[in-house]
Chain A
Amino acid sequence: MSVLVFVEDPADELSQQALSFARSLGEEPTAVAIDGGESYAPAAWGQALAALTRERGPSVVVAPGTDRGNEVLAHVAAELDLPMAANCVSATPGDPFTLTRIRWGGSLLEEARLHGSPALLSVAPHAVAADPADAGMAVETIAPAGEAVVKVSERVQAHTAGVSLADADVVVSGGRGVGSADGFAVIEELAALLGAAVGCSRAVTSAGWRPHTDQVGQTGTKVSPSLYIACGISGATQHMAGCKGAKKLLAINPDAEASIFASADYAVIGDLHEVVPAISAEIRKARGA
């Protein structure tokens, strides 16, 4: 059984995870990258990978479960009219292939059968461990297919200020319990004291209190800080899908039955408008300021 793995970049941890996943299916996989230069062209990349798949006849084609990994593999699937399973956490070769994949941003698992060969599988981020030795993996590079109609024509640089939410070591997040846009003043104060990024739940962005760029969740930013402080957030699956990567979670909520506490390491039962300013004051006191 031969396995092709689409890698975006050997230095990328999720590409290394895709290689580890592929290795668990059998033979030593062949890593393939597309020589796209600066201009990403999803359909042309997919066509190149589909052509290589036709030529080599692998049993499985694996891609990382990233935006581009899923997109390129979906183009391969459409080109070859084959089924594709996105964001797999495990798979067992056979006819049909059996696999487990994530749904609802990881809040639910699906066991499925894939009827088609080769099997097209993308790998859910952090489902398997990367082998750091794969940073030096041998990668076969192929050219994109033909002249692309759809390609990146320009990169607009972001001008960001402060701590980026995705990379922050500490995140202080507010939910519906904050009550208003102005209510975020106490969240911002605590975040400033901790050098943290400010986040929020979907209820907050839907109400227009914060921009979507602050939203943590299944359809927002996925964060993995060492500490996540959830203030007035009930813990809907939509939100937890975005913050389950946090090493420690402190939840502040007046409802002792709130589902957020089932995922928390530390709990404070109370109104954030009393608790958060008290924590800020206590930090200042501890720092002697």
Chain B
Amino acid sequence: MNVLVCVKRVPLTGGKIVLTDDARAISTRHLGFTISPHEECGCEEAVRLIEQHGGSSTVLTLGPPEAEEQLRDMMAIGIDRAVHLVTGGSEEWDPQATASAIVEAVHNEPEPPDLLLFGNESADAGNYQVAIRVAHKLGLPVVTGIKGISVIDDGRLRLEQEVAGGRDVYVVPMPAVVSVKEGINLPRYPSVPGRLRAKRKPLDTNTPARPEPRLEMVRLALPPGSGKQAQVLGGGAEAAPAVVTVLAELGLV
């Protein structure tokens, strides 16, 4: 089977987000980059499916030239090849434009994917819709928020989704679009030989034109702070009696 997994380069935010002067992006001067957590699991799942069933895995991103770093990272954990839809500048692509660019790239693939994997939502924008839009344009079934994928003997997919009180099961034919959530697996770390192999794996690039956004980001803002001033109960083990006093006030002891 052929599996295509879509990822997005995002900054590794720490404890405090700082915005650029124009408030249209996160200041990344002191930050590294990664991909959204759900998508890391999507790549791991793609590698496992190909290990089990044979075939080929492809990682695709729509992002700036620097996003090649994330594509190489995912090829280092075992993805076979990459497609980079290179964007210019720092302008954001809205979900409709992103989905259209991905659909065009899928049409250009030498072999159509049997399974398209996405993260349930990106870590940064969190629009919750690109996978569904891609599925509609390709006329494929789509299931979101999946935490378990298995291929049934007849070639259909059994998909498990966590819901309150248990798991909902979907059975769909391939080709299909599936978005996954972190927890579906524990992604492996890239090995040194894996990193070396990744440097030589094929990477196709294309430069799609960005349409006018219909969900147009105007500016970003930090939410008002908690306004909390923590009461310091002490340092080290000597703080224990003061902690228990607080627990007693809260009715816990």
Contact = CB atoms under 8 A, between A and B. Distances in A.
Interface of A: 40, 42-43, 67, 70-71, 74-75, 77-79, 81-87, 96, 98, 100, 102-116, 122, 149-158, 170, 194, 202, 205-206, 208, 212-213, 215, 218-220, 226-227, 234-238, 244, 248, 250-251, 258-271, 274-275, 277-279, 281-283, 286-287
A71 B160 CA distance: 16
Contact of A158 (B17, B37, B167): B167
B114 to A, nearest CB: 16
Contacts of B193: none
B243 A279 contact: yes
Contacts of B20: none
Contacts of B183: 205, 212-213, 215, 219-220
Contact of B168 (A96, A105, A154): A154
Contacts of B141: 43, 149-150
B192 interface: no
Given A112-B218, A115-B214, A227-B250, A266 B14 contact: no
Interface stretch (B55-63, B80-88, B225-233): B225-233
Contact of A271 (B142, B236, B241): B236
Contacts of B160: 156
A154 B158 CA distance: 11
Interface in B215-248: 215-223, 225-226, 228, 230-241, 243-244, 246-248
Given A105-B126, A114-B214, A157-B165, A75 B132 contact: yes
Contacts of A100: 221
A103 B125 contact: yes
8 contacts: A74-B133, A77-B133, A81-B96, A84-B127, A149-B172, A156-B169, A266-B231, A283-B247
B221 A112 contact: no
Contacts of B232: 266-269
Closest 5 CB pairs of A and B: A259-B15, A212-B183, A78-B136, A278-B237, A83-B214
B166 A158 contact: yes
Contacts of B127: 84, 86
Given A74-B132, A227-B252, A219 B181 contact: yes
Contacts of B182: 212, 215, 219-220
Nearest to B244: A282
Contact of B230 (A82, A104, A116, A261): A261
Interface in B185-215: 186-187, 212-215
A226 B168 CA distance: 30
A64 to B, nearest CB: 12
A154 B132 CA distance: 22
Given A83-B94, A111-B219, A270 B236 contact: yes
A115 B216 contact: yes
B218 A111 contact: yes
A237 B17 CA distance: 8
A114 B221 CA distance: 18
A83 B212 CA distance: 12
B169 A153 contact: yes
Contacts of B96: 81, 83
Nearest to B147: A212
Contact of A248 (B237, B250, B253): B250
Contact of B133 (A78, A87, A111, A262): A78
Among B126, B133, B246, chain A packs the most CB atoms within 10 A around the CB of: B126
Nearest to A271: B236
Contacts of B231: 265-267
Contacts of A248: 250
Contacts of A42: 142-144
Contact of A268 (B17, B186, B217, B235): B235
A113 B129 contact: no
Contact of B166 (A75, A114, A156, A237): A156
Interface in B125-174: 125-129, 132-133, 135-137, 141-145, 160, 163, 165-173
Contacts of A270: 234-237, 239
B228 A265 contact: yes
Contacts of B17: 104, 107-108, 237
A248 B252 CA distance: 13
B51 interface: no
Nearest to B132: A74
A219 B228 contact: no
Contacts of A215: 182-183
A155 B167 contact: yes
Contact of A86 (B126, B135, B170): B126
Interface string B92-130: 001110000000000000000000000001011111110
Contact of A235 (B15, B129, B186, B238): B15
B30 interface: no
